[in-house]
Structure 1
Amino acid sequence: MPLNNPWLAEPAPTRRLTRDRLEERILNLLAGQNMCVLATSGADGPAATPVRYYSLEFAIMFTASPRSPKMRNIAADPRVSAGVFAPLTGLASSRGAQIFGRARVLGPDDPAQAPYWEAFRWENEHVERGRPVTEPPPETLVVIEPDRIVYTEHWLRRDGYAPRQFWRRDDE
């Protein structure tokens, strides 16, 4: 029987991308998507929450109500994981990233929010809510700067690279 992607039937290669090429692929994925699944852990156990995010380099950020379960969990343990993935139509199109890091909560009056609002498309949310688009929202912003990322892309197998690649901040 003919195969569309015969390279998927072979044993997976183990070759690693260069850091530059891996970073380019990760940044492309983060910029091309806007939803992730945020994993937190709290007194009631683990929670996985769909979240609309924006990215700035490798950081992902989102707004959240301070009273939400994910924010209670982050307050108890800021270690989080976020899964970002592209739409899947088959194994060859499998592409995503697991981001591991600590969530940093920036309150509405925190001056550290400023550089993130430039990358956050808050104007869209203001229009959706009928708010003026003259200044960033006075909301809590959560930023995840990753310590490590596990990037998966099965199309890499076609060029002889491992489908799972590993990025660590401390490898810089």
Structure 2
Amino acid sequence: MTRSWLTGPTPTRKLPRDRIEERILNLLGSQNMCVLATTGADGPLATPVRFYAHEFTVMFTASPKSPKMRNLAADPRVSIGVFAPLVGLASSRGAQLFGTARVLEPGDPDRERYWPSFRWENEHAERGRSLAEPPADSLVVVEPERIVYTEHWLRRDGYAPRQFWRRSA
């Protein structure tokens, strides 16, 4: 046994709000891939997506004709899974975000709030596009209403490995 603190009953103690927020922001700021879950006429769709975070908001661009965008047009409610690489139970760390996706087109005044956090230059460089011209793609933003955060390392300090956050605390 390498981590005795993983044995025994699972703690139920909640982290203070500021500490859970810090952990969630750390996860969102240190990862760039998520799984976006949408629902459409053909049922559920889980899509790997490269994302960027602006505080608790997750954002990405997508082709308007993609299945995920068709699904979002029909039902903008989403679930997003973000996780860190796993090397064992003790390293398990991730979050499920639940919210409503908004599609912000170029010229939408709300877009300016998020755009500085979107690192479009990386993708443009990969595609050989000019860095002088920002993309005109739709920007999808999801401001989660609630987040379920999981981190088994919290057990070591007597906290529940699953913590719950709501936008309106």
Same fold at TM > 0.5: yes
Q: Equivalences for 1:12-161 in 2 at 5 Å? A: 12-161=10-159
Question: Structure 1, residues 87-114: CA drift from partner, whole Å, max 9, x if none?
Answer: 0001000000000000000123323212
Equivalences, count: 169
The one-letter code of the counterpart of 2:50 is R
The one-letter code of the counterpart of 1:44 is D
Q: 2:113, 2:133 → 1: CA distance?
A: 13
Q: 2:133, 2:65 → 1: CA distance?
A: 24
CA shift for structure 1 position 10: 1.4
Structure 1's unaligned 5+ residue stretches are: none
Q: 2:115, 2:134 → 1: CA distance?
A: 7
Structure 2's unaligned 5+ residue stretches are: none
- TM-score (structure 1 length as normaliser): 0.96
Question: Structure 1, residues 58-80: CA drift from partner, whole Å, max 9, x if none?
Answer: 00000000100000111110000
Question: Structure 1, residues 25-66: CA drift from partner, whole Å, max 9, x if none?
Answer: 000000000000000001000000000000000000000001
Backbone CA RMSD of aligned residues: 0.8
Equivalent residue of 2:132, what SS? coil
Q: Contact 1:117–1:136 (CA<8 Å) still a contact in 2?
A: no
Q: 1:109, 1:64 → 2: CA distance?
A: 17
Q: 2:67, 2:107 → 1: CA distance?
A: 22
Q: Contact 1:109–1:138 (CA<8 Å) still a contact in 2?
A: no
Q: 2:59, 2:11 → 1: CA distance?
A: 33
The one-letter code of the counterpart of 2:119 is R
Range 25-34 or range 112-121, more displaced: 112-121
Residue identity (%): 74
